[in-house]
């Protein structure tokens, strides 16, 4: 049932997302709100249809007796229902609690009990089976809704269809309550808690960053506008919404009004880019690393294509350098570049859908060589920097002001300073209210009073003369060799991953005389190579133990060492018998390696390199 909703005048100065939610139906029906695939068929909703789905969910939550301040957990992969729920919870002044869908049962149990969740949304029947084992341990959860499910007959369970149908039936009755709640939020609730986002962390118990309307609006009104996002844009979203970088996509899309296209899965991104044809997208460095290494891998063994590509890349880098330094292009260079685009770069541009104005990379450092490579080819990647605790970006490069190798300048009200030990400190409205139920951790996170102090980011960096921030490494990850030299492992690992053979790498050398590397090879690339070379093998271990593979790894290490100082170069390495994955526990949800865990897990291999 579609309703005609009363509205408030939307303004760039609005304090919360409430006006945007009330005014959705006023947006042009010619610009879809969302596009998503259902059983392989692409669907789209107008803003009125989208609003109706959100308010049906809000009505369903009211029927579940959700009160302001109550916690609603969402355990699901990125999908349109996730956004609907998040916005419905906001509408009722509830607090959403994201849970990664591949979290372990123990992790799910911890989040549910620590945050005192009342309503739990699960994506699949498999998640529901996990829940049934946890049910007795999580007494505060009074209702469970399963998105991908047939109707449930359990007293405390519903399917998504049952939940939305119940909400639709009562929507006309419940809408005045929803409207009153939204109007109240905009008038007086800007400091109210909106979400608890648990840090993925590499060690210890996760902490829950408390974010209010104030943090959300400070972030989206400054970061997205600085990048030039507008209502005519279309994004392709695939980052997990349990991660802050994915989450701000939902909030920004509602405030700005651009179309949000949902990737079917990480495996389908390359196809979905061609179907959605985004004008911008947000990603983590691993996405660009994989595309970069894939391009070079495709050129192997074809001397003619490789020479043509090298020629085009040389032209592209000259043009890139001119653009970076805001210099005019000569006519001969323009003509050469147009030819290079037609013969080579058009394939790369079209692989991203052909309309991409820019992409934002965050969550981890992006190697400068990759940024320059794509810029030369006509794809602008803007690196930004932020934390869960800062509601994502506090610095970002923009289409109008970018410096590769930096994470850009501070945005909006952000103030930065560098501590005596090199740690980056930040003060801003974007900084969290604190950690939920953890005053000790909150005090430790700040230099001074948490209400008016400087947040300690844990990252080492420097502020350049241009005002841009350059990061070197995580403070706790820095390696100090036995010779007293400090080494940034992320830098070395990033260089190694430029080689298509290397999926991930772990650098070690703390308190040791030299640096060593553990290499996790890229299975897809190596299988492809083995097929082309007709290497005999029956199992993965047979393949990685072949002398040809060891030689390739040795060359990758030597190439990396050529770019390093002698004290930080890799003296020994070993090839691991496995890839690093989120499911295996080696990577965080944002695809960063869990360094402390890996040091412990592969202690035997590390020790053997120092014998």
Indicate whether 378 and 502 sit together in one domain. Answer: no
Indicate whether 471 and 482 sit together in one domain. Answer: no
Confidence (pTM): 0.87
Q: Give the pairing of strands 570-575 and 515-521.
A: parallel
> What DSSP element (H or E) covers 120?
strand 117-122
At 522, which CATH number?
Answer: 3.30.300.30
CB contact set of 329 (below 8 Å; sequence gap of 6+): 319, 322, 337
DSSP-assigned letter for residue 266: G
Strand order in the sheet with 280-283: 41-45, 34-38, 259-262, 234-237, 280-283, 358-361, 381-387, 392-396, 409-410
CB contact set of 3 (below 8 Å; sequence gap of 6+): 52, 55, 171, 172, 175
CB 235 within 8 A of CB 258: yes
Indicate whether 39 and 12 sit together in one domain. Answer: yes
CB atoms within 10 A of CB 335: 12
Indicate whether 397 and 469 sit together in one domain. Answer: yes
Q: Give the pairing of strands 41-45 and 34-38.
A: antiparallel
Last residue of a domain, one of 150, 174, 189: 189
Indicate whether 416 and 467 sit together in one domain. Answer: yes
What tokens were used for 23?
Answer: 């005014």
Last residue of a domain, one of 170, 189, 208: 189
Is residue 179 a part of any domain in this protein?
Answer: yes
CB 359 within 8 A of CB 389: no
Q: Is the dihedral of CA 360, 284, 495, 486 positive or negative?
A: positive
At 348, which CATH number?
Answer: 3.40.50.12780
Which of 248, 244, 261, 77 has its CA nearest to residue 590?
244
Indicate whether 167 and 243 sit together in one domain. Answer: no
At 201 the pLDDT is: 54
At 203 the pLDDT is: 52
Is residue 440 a part of any domain in this protein?
Answer: no
Last residue of a domain, one of 475, 509, 535: 475
Indicate whether 571 and 595 sit together in one domain. Answer: yes
> What DSSP element (H or E) covers 520?
strand 515-521
Residue in the structure block whose two tokens are 């060891």: 550
Is residue 435 a part of any domain in this protein?
Answer: no
Rounded to a whole number, what is the distance in angstroms from the first to the last CA of the chain?
72
Indicate whether 67 and 80 sit together in one domain. Answer: yes
Is residue 17 a part of any domain in this protein?
Answer: yes
Indicate whether 220 and 162 sit together in one domain. Answer: no
Read out DSSP for 292-342? Answer: HHHHHHHHTT-HHHHHHHHHHHHHHHHHHHHHHTT-PPPHHHHHHHHHHII
Scored b (16 or more CB within 10 A) or e, 283-296 reads: bbbbbbbbbbbebe
Is residue 557 a part of any domain in this protein?
Answer: yes
Scored b (16 or more CB within 10 A) or e, 569-596 reads: bbbebbbbeebbebeeebbbbbbbbbbe
Which of 431, 410, 37 has its CA nearest to residue 244?
431
DSSP-assigned letter for residue 539: S
CB 34 within 8 A of CB 49: no
**Alpha helices, DSSP H, located in 352-498:** 368-377, 439-445, 489-496
CA-to-CA distance for 271 and 275, rounded, in angstroms? 7
Is residue 347 a part of any domain in this protein?
Answer: yes
Indicate whether 322 and 310 sit together in one domain. Answer: yes
Which residue range is the domain that position 324 belongs to? 216-426+453-475
CB 453 within 8 A of CB 469: no
HEC string of 436-459 equals: CCCHHHHHHHEECCCCCCEEEEEE
User: What is the total count of domains within the chain?
Assistant: 3
Indicate whether 275 and 180 sit together in one domain. Answer: no
At 149 the pLDDT is: 82
Is residue 35 a part of any domain in this protein?
Answer: yes
CB 418 within 8 A of CB 424: yes
Indicate whether 522 and 534 sit together in one domain. Answer: yes
CA-to-CA distance for 199 and 218, rounded, in angstroms? 20
Per run of 10 residues, the mean pLDDT along the chain (length 611 residues) is 37 83 93 94 96 98 96 97 98 97 92 97 94 95 93 80 95 96 90 92 77 96 90 95 95 97 93 96 91 89 91 96 93 96 96 96 89 96 96 95 94 95 95 95 90 90 95 83 84 92 92 92 88 83 87 94 92 92 82 86 92 83
Is residue 199 a part of any domain in this protein?
Answer: no
């Amino acid at each position: 049932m579609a309703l005609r909703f009363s509205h408030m005048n939307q303004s760039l100065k609005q304090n919360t997302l409430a006006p945007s939610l009330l005014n959705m139906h006023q947006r042009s029906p010619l610009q879809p709100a969302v596009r998503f695939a259902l059983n392989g068929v692409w669907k789209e909703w107008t803003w009125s249809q989208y609003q109706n789905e959100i308010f049906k969910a809000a009505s369903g939550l009211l029927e579940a007796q959700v009160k302001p301040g109550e916690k609603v957990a969402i355990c699901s992969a990125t999908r349109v229902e996730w956004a609907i729920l998040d916005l419905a919870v906001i509408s009722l002044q509830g607090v959403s609690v994201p849970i990664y869908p591949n979290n372990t049962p123990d992790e799910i149990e911890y989040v549910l009990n620590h945050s005192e969740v009342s309503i739990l949304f699960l994506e699949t029947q498999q998640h529901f089976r996990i829940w049934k084992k946890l049910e007795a341990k999580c007494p505060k959860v009074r209702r469970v809704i399963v998105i991908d499910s047939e109707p449930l007959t359990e007293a405390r369970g519903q399917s998504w269809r049952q939940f939305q149908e119940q909400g639709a039936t009562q929507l006309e009755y419940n809408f005045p309550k929803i409207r009153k709640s939204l109007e109240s939020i905009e008038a007086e609730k800007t400091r109210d808690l909106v979400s608890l986002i648990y840090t993925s962390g590499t060690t210890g118990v996760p902490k829950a960053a408390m974010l209010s309307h104030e943090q959300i609006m400070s972030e989206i009104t400054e970061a997205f506008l600085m990048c030039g996002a507008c209502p005519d844009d279309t994004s392709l979203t695939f980052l997990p919404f349990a991660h802050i970088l994915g989450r701000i996509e939902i909030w920004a899309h509602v405030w700005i009004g651009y179309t949000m296209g949902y990737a079917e899965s990480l495996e389908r991104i390359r196809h979905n880019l061609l179907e959605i044809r985004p004008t911008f997208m947000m990603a983590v460095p691993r996405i660009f690393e994989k595309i970069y290494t894939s391009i070079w891998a495709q050129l192997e063994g074809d001397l003619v294509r490789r020479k043509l590509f090298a020629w085009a890349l040389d032209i592209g880098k000259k043009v890139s350098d001119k653009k970076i330094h805001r210099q005019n292009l000569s006519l001969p260079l323009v003509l050469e570049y147009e030819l290079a685009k037609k013969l080579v770069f058009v394939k790369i541009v079209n692989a991203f859908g052909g309309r991409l104005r820019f992409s934002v990379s965050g969550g981890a450092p992006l190697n400068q060589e990759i940024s320059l490579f794509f810029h030369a080819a006509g794809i602008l990647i803007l690196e930004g920097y932020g934390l869960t605790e800062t509601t994502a970006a506090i610095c970002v490069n923009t289409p109008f002001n970018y410096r590769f190798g930096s994470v850009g300048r501070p945005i909006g009200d952000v103030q930065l300073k560098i501590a005596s030990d090199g740690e980056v400190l930040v003060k801003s409205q974007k900084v969290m209210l604190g950690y939920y139920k953890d005053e000790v951790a909150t005090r430790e996170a700040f230099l001074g009073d948490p209400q008016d102090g400087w947040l300690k980011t844990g990252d080492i960096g420097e502020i350049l003369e241009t005002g841009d921030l350059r990061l070197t490494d995580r403070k706790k990850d820095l390696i100090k060799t036995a010779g007293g030299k400090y080494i940034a492992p992320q830098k070395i690992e990033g260089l190694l991953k430029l080689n298509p053979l290397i999926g991930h790498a772990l650098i070690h050398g703390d308190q040791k005389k030299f640096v060593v590397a553990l290499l996790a090879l890229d299975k897809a690339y190596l299988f492809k190579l083995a097929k082309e070379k007709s290497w005999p093998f029956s199992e993965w271990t047979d393949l990685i133990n072949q002398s040809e593979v060891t030689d390739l790894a040795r060359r990758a290490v030597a190439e990396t060492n050529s770019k390093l100082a002698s004290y930080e170069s890799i003296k020994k390495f070993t090839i691991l018998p496995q890839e690093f994955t989120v499911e295996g526990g080696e990577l965080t949800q944002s695809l960063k390696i869990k360094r402390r865990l890996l040091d412990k897990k592969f202690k035997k291999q590390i020790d053997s390199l120092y014998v």
